[in-house]
């Protein structure tokens, strides 16, 4: 079977069998010139090569890298697919820059990752934000409705594109095909940040991939849901609309000229792992998940939230009836178990895609969680505020102009009505609660104060621990 091949890994192994002497970068010389480090780390360095004879060229592939990316293209059925070694961030930047020109109006799902915002800033795009629907069961934003998209295109008929996030960080999906089809009818290119969906190509019981539903370009974080190294991602061109010449130019622009071979090798292996998944493996994965859920409910009196929308079973939302999400996360971590994230209501577990018979993961998880004592912590409920001011909104200060404006620091409690001069980003998931140029509302002030009080990690240019925020 063609998909059994791992061309990059094979090339690295073949090179190592030559017992090479390195008079090239990197300076550790395949791990032979380095201080006292563990042997298993030294093994990684023995495969940390560079673009030399026999190992191909990441930015102009003709050998093993080209073969590996061709296998990726065939697996996903795309027009052309690429490896990303600078994460999905590089892919999002390349999607945006290759699709739009300065001052283009682009419709953007408001619960987007910060890398989307950064891409809009770099390209000087005029974003129009679409407020997602709220999933009451998971207490998280889901996807944009068709009615919201139609309203946006009525108000902004000259929009050049639509940027969607699918599925959400919490694994929640929505009817994305009707959005893609309608946007195409209005001559909009559709870009999808599918960071949490590289495994959706497997089909039922997983939600369908945006790539299979006609998206023009899709970026996926292989390192999030597949066994790839951190920063390893996939980039797919799905239709004839994007210019491959522009795409490849911007992929080269936003990625390192010294690409990581361990990351590339892990992407090669992750692609093979996914391609060889069988129905029996998926069934086993779901069975192990259900056993784990039943154990959590019985042994730890924890609750599991199920979305009102179709959702990814590899995401597990867990709650304690007696505590908030931040405290529950702290309790679980005392046993060496680290969830993906916490919010005021719950913790999120990202589960593995298993091969049949691999029971070790959940056995170890149960042994560790069995030692956890759940702290009772009475906290008042808090509701997630709307991300945008309305279903369709634009920022009053453009990305082009914000750099020229002076900012000042004010007390967060007194910032209502001001224009934010910074992005306030609870991380993870990396979705800006406030963006530069957005108006500060009372409900967002209240929510930010709650996050700070409960110990949430927040990125951005802020002094929230002292109670201040930057505004224009």
- Give me the DSSP letters along 81-125: EEEESSHHHHHHHHHHHHH--TT-EEEEETT--HHHHHHHHHHT-
**Residue 271: how many other CB atoms lie within 10 Å:** 28
Tokens 């061709």 appear where? Answer: 70
Number of residues written out for the chain: 472
Cα 22 to chain centroid, rounded: 36
- The pLDDT profile of the chain, 472 residues, written as one tens digit per residue, is 899 999 999 999 998 888 888 788 888 878 888 878 888 888 888 888 888 889 999 999 999 999 999 999 999 999 999 999 999 999 999 999 999 999 999 999 999 999 999 999 999 999 999 999 999 999 999 999 999 999 999 999 999 999 999 999 999 999 999 999 999 999 999 999 999 999 999 999 999 999 999 999 999 999 999 999 999 999 999 999 999 999 999 999 999 999 999 999 999 999 999 999 999 999 999 999 999 999 999 999 999 999 989 999 999 999 999 889 999 999 999 999 999 999 999 999 999 999 999 999 999 999 999 999 998 877 666 777 777 768 998 876 667 776 677 889 999 999 999 988 888 888 878 788 888 888 899 988 988 888 888 888 888 778 888 889 999 8
Which CATH code, of 1.10.357.10, 3.40.50.300, 3.90.100.10, 3.90.1150.10, is assigned to 396-471?
Answer: 3.90.100.10
Tokens encoding 51: 């673009």
On whether the CB atoms of residues 175 and 145 are closer than 8 A, the answer is no
pLDDT of residue 305: 95
Cα 53 to chain centroid, rounded: 34
Tokens encoding 256: 């390192």
As a whole number of angstroms, the distance between CA 98 and CA 245 comes to: 9
Q: Starting at the edge strand that comes first in sequence, how are the strands of the sheet with 341-342 ordered?
A: 303-305, 315-319, 347-350, 341-342
Q: For the CA atoms of 249, 251, 254, 259, what is the dihedral angle to 10 degrees?
A: -120
247: Cβ contacts below 8 Å, ≥ 6 apart: 94, 95, 98, 217, 235, 237
On whether the CB atoms of residues 325 and 347 are closer than 8 A, the answer is yes
Look at residues 168, 100, 153 and name the one whose alpha carbon lies nearest to residue 391.
Answer: 153
Domain 7-276 adopts which CATH fold? 3.40.640
As a whole number of angstroms, the distance between CA 311 and CA 88 comes to: 21
As a whole number of angstroms, the distance between CA 167 and CA 196 comes to: 6
Helix (H) or strand (E) holding 453: helix 442-453
Domain ranges for the chain: 7-276, 279-370, 396-471
The Cα-based distances of 293 to 373, 452, 455 in angstroms read 18, 30, 27
Look at residues 89, 81, 88 and name the one whose alpha carbon lies nearest to residue 65.
Answer: 81
Cα 172 to chain centroid, rounded: 13
**Residue 185: how many other CB atoms lie within 10 Å:** 9
Look at residues 82, 21, 372, 351 and name the one whose alpha carbon lies nearest to residue 235.
Answer: 82
pLDDT of residue 403: 66
Quick one: CA dihedral 450, 340, 329, 458, positive or negative?
Answer: negative
DSSP secondary structure letter of residue 420: B
pTM: 0.93
Tokens 């001052």 appear where? Answer: 103
**Residue 354: how many other CB atoms lie within 10 Å:** 21
Question: What are the φ and ψ backbone dihedral angles of 442, each rounded to 5 degrees?
Answer: -60, -40
361-365, long-range: CB within 8 Å, 24+ apart, which pairs? Answer: 361/288, 362/288, 362/291, 362/292, 365/292, 365/337
On the question of a cis peptide bond just before residue 256, with omega within 30 degrees of 0, the verdict is no
pLDDT of residue 396: 67
Q: Could you confirm whether domain 279-370 is CATH 3.90.1150.150?
A: yes
């Amino acid at each position: 079977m063609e998909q059994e091949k791992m061309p990059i890994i094979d090339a690295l192994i073949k090179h190592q069998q030559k017992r090479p002497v390195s008079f090239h970068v990197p300076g550790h010389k395949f791990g032979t010139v380095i201080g006292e480090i563990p042997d298993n780390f030294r093994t990684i360095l023995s495969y940390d090569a560079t673009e030399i004879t026999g190992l191909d060229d990441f930015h102009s592939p003709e050998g093993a890298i080209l073969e590996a990316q061709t296998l990726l293209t065939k697996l996903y059925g795309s027009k052309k697919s690429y490896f990303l070694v600078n994460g999905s961030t590089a892919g999002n930047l390349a999607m945006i820059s290759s699709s739009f020109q300065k001052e283009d109006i682009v419709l953007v799902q408001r619960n987007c990752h910060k890398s989307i915002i950064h891409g809009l800033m770099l390209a000087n795009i005029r974003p129009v934000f679409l407020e997602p629907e709220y999933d009451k069961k998971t207490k998280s934003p889901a996807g944009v409705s068709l009615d919201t998209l139609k309203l946006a295109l009525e108000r902004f008929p000259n929009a050049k594109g639509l940027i969607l996030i699918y599925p959400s960080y919490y694994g929640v999906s929505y009817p994305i095909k009707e959005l893609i089809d309608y946007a195409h009818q209005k001559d909009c290119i559709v870009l999808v940040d599918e960071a949490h969906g590289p495994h959706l190509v497997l089909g039922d019981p997983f939600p369908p991939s945006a790539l299979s539903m006609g998206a023009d370009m899709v970026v996926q974080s292989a390192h999030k849901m597949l066994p790839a190294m951190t920063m390893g991602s996939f980039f797919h061109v799905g239709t004839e609309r994007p210019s491959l010449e522009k795409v490849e130019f911007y992929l080269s622009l936003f990625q390192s000229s010294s690409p990581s071979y361990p990351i590339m090798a892990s992407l090669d292996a992750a692609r093979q792992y996914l391609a060889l998944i069988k129905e029996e493996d998926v069934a086993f994965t779901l069975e192990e998940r259900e056993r784990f859920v039943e154990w959590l409910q019985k042994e730890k009196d924890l609750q599991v939230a199920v979305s009102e929308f179709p959702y990814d079973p590899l995401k597990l939302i867990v709650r304690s009836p007696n505590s908030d999400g931040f405290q529950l996360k702290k309790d679980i971590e005392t046993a060496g178990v680290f969830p993906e994230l916490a919010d005021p209501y719950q913790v999120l577990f990202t589960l593995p895609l298993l091969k049949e018979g691999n029971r070790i993961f959940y056995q170890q998880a149960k042994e560790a969680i069995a030692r956890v004592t759940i702290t009772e912590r009475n906290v008042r409920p808090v509701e997630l505020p709307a991300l945008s001011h309305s279903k369709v909104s634009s920022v009053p200060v453009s990305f082009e102009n914000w750099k020229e404006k002076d900012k000042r620091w004010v007390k967060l409690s007194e910032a209502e009505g001001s224009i934010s001069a910074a992005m306030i980003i609870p991380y993870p998931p990396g979705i800006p609660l406030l963006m530069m140029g957005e108006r500060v509302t009372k409900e967002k002030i209240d929510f930010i104060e709650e996050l700070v009080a409960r110990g949430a990690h927040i990125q951005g240019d802020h002094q929230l621990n002292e109670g201040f925020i930057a505004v224009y």
